[in-house]
């Protein structure tokens, strides 16, 4: 990748997720948490397992992993995300670090988890190689990314509302956002020296009693706070209307899909 493109993507992602740091655990984390039990299970994490949580954000994923093992470190390239993680979970170790340069020794951890972060990396090849470097022999790597775009119902409701009033290209998206094919991720794993790669689909539901987590998360992620108030109101009204079909009695239920990847260092 050309350096200029690399910097554009990296700075874009850093600005986006730094902006989302204060609200993340109350918004997007309530969806991304759904995949963690499967990642923890696939990697066989137990009380004796050392774990690195890459792209830990505001610490929600690291905290859930810590309920299975005390030996866990969370890293994120957004210092503000790390500050929030330390504030909320003071008993867990967090480090501000780029996943392309992990601050751990070679062959030092049993498991690496990357929950909904692979699709945000400007240089995923470098990240996969770093993961292989820090894993111990027979170590395990498990990750989750979004499934097909059309299978993300809550985001679909937002995209439709946004497109009524603005160009969709203005919204943040990482290099691998929406990429779901086996070969793309298998190539990344193979080039890094990881073996026994598998990929599977997970269907899940995002449940909420109020639309506030979804609306607030989309507004922070898309930086809609900068839009004129009348345009914000128009998008929000359309968004709420689009969500009505997902209301079940007193609760909203949004079907989603995720892609779960797994590989080993042999």
For every residue of 189-241, DSSP letters joined together read HHHHT-EEEEEEEEEEEEEESSSHHHHHHHHHHHTGGGS-HHHHHHHHHHHHH
Give residue 178's pLDDT band: very low, low, confident or very high (50, 70, 90): confident
What Rg value do the Cα atoms of the chain yield, rounded?
18
- The yes-or-no verdict on residue 127 having pLDDT over 80 is yes
Helix and strand numbers, DSSP H then E, in the chain: 10, 8
Confidence class of residue 176 from pLDDT cuts 50, 70 and 90?
A: confident
pLDDT for position 2 = 58
pLDDT surpasses 60 at 110: yes
Residue 172 has pLDDT above 80, yes or no: no
Higher pLDDT, 195 or 266: 195
Work out the pLDDT band at 36, boundaries 50, 70, 90.
very high
- The mean pLDDT value for 99-103 works out to 95
Residue 265 φ then ψ, to 5°: -100, 120
Other Cβ atoms within 10 Å of 2 Cβ, number: 7
Which of 82-86, 89-93, 132-136, 147-151 comes out lowest in average pLDDT?
Answer: 147-151
Residue 4 has pLDDT above 70, yes or no: no
More confident residue, 7 or 32: 32
Q: Is the pLDDT score of 1 beyond 60? A: no
Instruction: Flag whether pLDDT at 3 surpasses 70.
Output: no
Average pLDDT over the chain reads: 94
pTM of the model: 0.93
- List the domains of the chain with CATH numbers: 3-150+172-207+256-264 (3.40.50.150)
Q: What was the pLDDT predicted at 169?
A: 72
Q: 35 near 144, Cβ under 8 Å?
A: yes
The rounded distance, in Å, linking the Cα atoms of 141 and 131 is 8
Residue 177 has pLDDT above 90, yes or no: no
Q: How confident is the model at residue 175 (pLDDT cuts 50, 70, 90)?
A: confident
């Amino acid at each position: 990748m050309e350096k200029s493109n690399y910097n554009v993507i990296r700075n874009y992602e850093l600005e986006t997720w730094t902006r989302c740091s204060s609200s993340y655990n109350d918004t997007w984390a309530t969806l991304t948490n759904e995949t963690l039990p499967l990642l923890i299970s696939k990697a066989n994490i137990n009380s004796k397992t050392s774990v690195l949580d890459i792209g830990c954000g505001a610490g929600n994923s690291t905290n859930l992993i810590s309920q299975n093992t005390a030996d866990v470190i969370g890293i994120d390239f957004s210092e503000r995300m790390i500050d929030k993680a330390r504030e909320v979970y003071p008993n867990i170790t967090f480090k501000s670090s780029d996943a392309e340069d992990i601050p751990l020794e070679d062959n030092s951890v049993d498991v690496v988890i990357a929950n909904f972060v692979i699709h945000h990396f400007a240089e995923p090849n470098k990240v996969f190689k770093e993961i292989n470097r820090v894993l111990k022999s027979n170590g395990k790597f498990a990750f989750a990314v979004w499934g097909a775009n059309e299978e993300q119902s809550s985001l679909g409701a937002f995209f439709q509302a946004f497109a009524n009033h603005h160009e969709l290209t203005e919204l943040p998206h990482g290099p691998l956002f929406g990429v779901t094919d086996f070969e793309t991720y298998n190539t990344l794993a193979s080039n890094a020296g990881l073996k026994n790669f598998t990929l599977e689909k997970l269907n899940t539901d995002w449940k909420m009693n109020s639309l506030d987590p979804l609306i607030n998360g989309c507004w922070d992620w898309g930086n809609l706070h900068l839009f004129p108030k009348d345009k914000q109101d128009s998008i929000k009204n359309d968004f709420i209307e689009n969500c009505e079909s997902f209301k079940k009695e007193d609760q909203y239920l949004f079907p989603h899909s995720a892609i779960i990847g797994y590989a080993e260092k042999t």
